[in-house]
Structure 1
Amino acid sequence: MRANANEHIVVGIATAGRRDVLEKMLWQLTLQRKLPDRVIICPATDHDFDESIISKLPYPIEVVRGARGLCAQRNLILKKISHDDLVVFFDDDFYPAVDFLEKTISCFSASPDFVAMTGVVIVDGALGPGIEHDEALRILSSHSECTDLTPDTIYNVYGCNMAFRASIIRDSSAAFDENLPLYSWLEDVDFSRSMSSKGAIGQSRSLRGVHLATKRGRTSGVRFGYSQIANPIYMAKKGTFAWSRAFFQMGRNVTANLARCVNPEPWVDRRGRLKGNLVAVSDLFRGRLHPRRVLEIS
């Protein structure tokens, strides 16, 4: 199925501290068979995006600015999608296959009951030290296209690549929860579950890409460790994360941090994360655990 030329699709990118990575990703978007009708970029600071590149790219770019934090930045992007049919959020270090946007339109057209979709991450650098630019290109070129547009129903989309029907977001005034600050860990789960009452959440095998998971621009280990406890509990209390999933997620994270703190991976601050876990547990018993408390932690 070919993309409908009348469909509008906008790409939103929130970015912080990865100026050169973002520029490479924007050039990757020029390879899309269906170019985005707009790309909306929300940099955390003026230094995070070189606007001189705008005139060199074959698609329009709009820049919005506001408070730092993934949820806050994505909400600024959402405020700009009033007339677009589909909105796709990419991380600034996600390289989509050349047919990603074209197939996104086709997938939503073929599955009208779905309000959100995510693709298959061929290789995810978040599971290791990250992936370099050239290696990501090699991985993409070695994988053939998938023509199956039928999505599988899933619990949540994956934040590095997630697409939504803009009309559902507009009509329901949906927004990312800014009580999940900074890196906004699990914001993809939270937003997915808030949208699930409007329709199905899906994953399509025809949507593919590589997540470089560049390690620059990340939250400190202590802060991230705090969020590993505070965010799941906060989301479970408000009903966007099942308690069983929250306990499993927290248990897995604490166990990994504890087991690896003596001999940690070079790219993970396990000791910092474990310290953050312990601070969060202490706050829980004191009755002051909240995701925004992470802003007070150095």
Structure 2
Amino acid sequence: MRAQLQPGPVRVERISIVAGEAERFTATLPAGVPVNEAIAKAFQAKGYRGGVMEMRGGAFAPLRFVIPALSSDPRYAAYYSETHGGPGPARFVQMNATVGEKDGKPFSHLHGSWTGPEGRPQAGHVLPLETMLAEPVLATGWAIEGAGFVVRPDAETNFSLFMPERWGRAPAEASGALVKIQPNEDACLALEEACTRLGWRSARVRGGVGSLVGARFADGRLLEAVATEVLVQEGGVAPDFSGCPKASLSVLAVDERGLIAEGALAHGDNPVLMTFELLLVPG
């Protein structure tokens, strides 16, 4: 399996999991305010500080985004491109968000796919403080009672990244779990381990944003670029013929050249580059 050397010490805990009581909710995100603010208010209205959110169909105006890039700085294994975008509108197909807090304030990590004014498909890391919705959008969120994502320094990557944390009491039985996967762990294998640790025979992925060391698909296609960002289109874990958990992930990926590919990932051959964040629900 491919791997990418990181600048810092390898974190002992490779898969961070915080489980608790999950709630699914819907919210209409308003137009004309930064996406970060719209998402934060939707979670606050339900009494939560974060979780994950999915949006399908809508428009950005303006849109600001970056795509992954190689790093010329030895302090980082990869970095971001210059900022792209324009006044819009750009019609988006899907946007996934990890929602939490950064420096004590609401913050969202967004990956999306859209069609620009010129009709060309694009994808990338949407800048939540600079991007606005052009029209109200119906979104679906999931949150964990007494837990959420908080941006913390990550010595392994030398970035500050979302980590799942608990501030409330853990329930006797969990109906959801926040998950964060460290670099060079295969995304599918990590989900299987998460289910094993949680004692779940099956689970569904909600939200889902991250980066991979390239992307190898089940049909043999390969995005060879080192820096590749992804959003999960569909994912889950189910027992295989022997009863062991077997994960599947379908993603949309964009690499450092702006090339886009989508489909089911090859099992066991897609190491995380920087981070992979999601929420799991059993069943």
TM over 0.5: no
Q: TM-score range by the shorter chain?
A: under 0.3
TM-score (norm 2): 0.24
Highest RCO, 1 vs 2 (Cα 8 Å, sep ≥ 6): 2
More helix by share: 1
